[in-house]
Amino acid sequence: MESLRERSRLGEIIVNKLGSERDFDIVKIMEYNAKERCCGWCYALGPTMRCSKCLRAYCSRECQVKDWKTGCHKLWCGKSGEKCVDYEIRDAGEKGLGLFTLRDFERGEKILVERAVATKPDALGRPIDSSKLLESTTLMSATMALAPTESSSLTVKFVTNSAALSDDDVEDGGSGLFLNFSRVNHDCIGNADHYYVPDLKLMLLVAKCAIPAGTEVTFSYAGSASSTQRGMMLRARGFQCTCTACQDPAIASELDRALELDQKILSFGSFGNVGQAIRAGESLIKLHDKFHASDRLYSRVYYDLFQIAITKKSSVKLGSKYILQAYTHALRFYGREEDEEVKRLKRFVDSPSAHRNYRIMD
Ligand SMILES: [Zn+2]
Ligand SMILES: [Zn+2]
Ligand SMILES: [Zn+2]
């Protein structure tokens, strides 16, 4: 239990670190507890009302309206998990807090959909945008409650807890700090995948497989890294993983094999080896089945196979089969027909010849 002196010290730190001149209510700042139900918009504890269509909770009508529009709840109402209803944040042993399911989730279901409370545009040392944090004292206290310690600066919290806002480190799309999503622990295989929807500015946490109630939700912090790279990244972050892949070298090498196959598909394709590309793709899909890969990865493999199959007249029909698979997996993952990726794939389902590769080798 902290003393009153420590409490006011924290208040001071919060005000100084976030650089605001507002008169903060220290008691309220100290109140936040990640384990409790909170407002879907401002994270205030003890919300008194809820969405009339789903169980999302709010502290006020004002927050509900903001969440409906700016938070895009109108798109996800009834389609995403809610803290303390569908999932909870609780102790996960040595890992500190973790996120656990309170009900069964099906593959593709959104465990949570969350906006960032602070963002950083890129790795170039540009400042963190913490303007959202200043919207409410509870939002700040929730942020201060993040690891490593309550009194560590926002910058340190950012380094420890932020998630990339772009896909697989392909490009530097910046990073964001999320209060509930940040509680999800690492596992090299994991049962969930995450994706930041840039046009909505929302992070999706998606079940990769059926997840029973009472299970910890995890994903790989290392994305599509090889086992060697993954080990280095995890050590740099200061923790040791005890997942099955880290304990069993045979599993780790199968995961590496999946990465190799992924690269081979496109290289075979670019040399016109359609048959070999398809064989590599089908081996990769078997590995994805084994490790219950995310629908996002399945969609990517099937799209690659489509791009290759349609280069030759003899495999165009197969291409149509692949693009339908790519679209079906993407729809389950992204969850909306209006999603940019889903729309892009749908266009090729309707008309494979709209793709620039169509029968280029005839
Ligand atoms: Zn609120
Ligand atoms: Zn709702
Ligand atoms: Zn591991």
Alpha carbon of 226 to ligand 3 centroid (Å):
11
- Of the listed ligands, the closest to the CA of 66 is 1
Q: Which residues, chain by chain, have CB under 5 Å from ion ligand 1?
A: 39, 41-42, 44, 59, 63
The verdict on residue 223 lying in a domain is no
Residue range 314-323, pLDDT digits in tens: 999 999 999 9
pTM tops 0.75: yes
Alpha carbon of 70 to ligand 2 centroid (Å):
14
Residue 143: pLDDT band by 50, 70, 90 thresholds?
confident
- Of the listed ligands, the closest to the CA of 186 is 3
The verdict on residue 92 lying in a domain is no
- Of the listed ligands, the closest to the CA of 45 is 1
Residue 122: pLDDT band by 50, 70, 90 thresholds?
confident
Alpha carbon of 97 to ligand 3 centroid (Å):
18
The verdict on residue 171 lying in a domain is no
The verdict on residue 280 lying in a domain is yes
The verdict on residue 273 lying in a domain is yes
The verdict on residue 219 lying in a domain is no
- Of the listed ligands, the closest to the CA of 58 is 1
Alpha carbon of 132 to ligand 2 centroid (Å):
22
Q: For the chain, give the secondary structure using H, E and C.
A: CCCHHHHHHHHHHHHHHHCCCCCCCHHHHHHCCCCCCECCCCCCECCCEECCCCCCEECCHHHHHHHHHCCCHHHHCCCECCECCCEEEEECHHHCEEEEECCCECCCCEEEEECCCEEECCCCCCCCECHHHHHCHHHHHHHHCCCCCCCCCHHHHHHHHCEECCHHHCCCCCEEECCCHHHCEECCCCCEEEEEECCCCEEEEEECCCECCCCECEECCCCCCCHHHHHHHHHHCCCCCCCHHHHCHHHHHHHHHHHHHHHHHHHHHHCCCHHHHHHHHHHHHHHHHHCCCCHHHHHHHHHHHHHHHCCCHHHHHHHHHHHHHHHHHHHHHHCCCCCHHHHHHHHHHHCHHHCCCCCCCC
Alpha carbon of 244 to ligand 3 centroid (Å):
6
Average pLDDT over residues 331-355: 97
* 1 has a pLDDT exceeding 50: no
The verdict on residue 288 lying in a domain is yes
Alpha carbon of 358 to ligand 1 centroid (Å):
51
The verdict on residue 86 lying in a domain is no
Domain interval for residue 303: 248-354
Structural domain count of the chain: 1
Q: What is the CATH number of the domain that holds 280?
A: 1.25.40
Average pLDDT over residues 124-134: 74
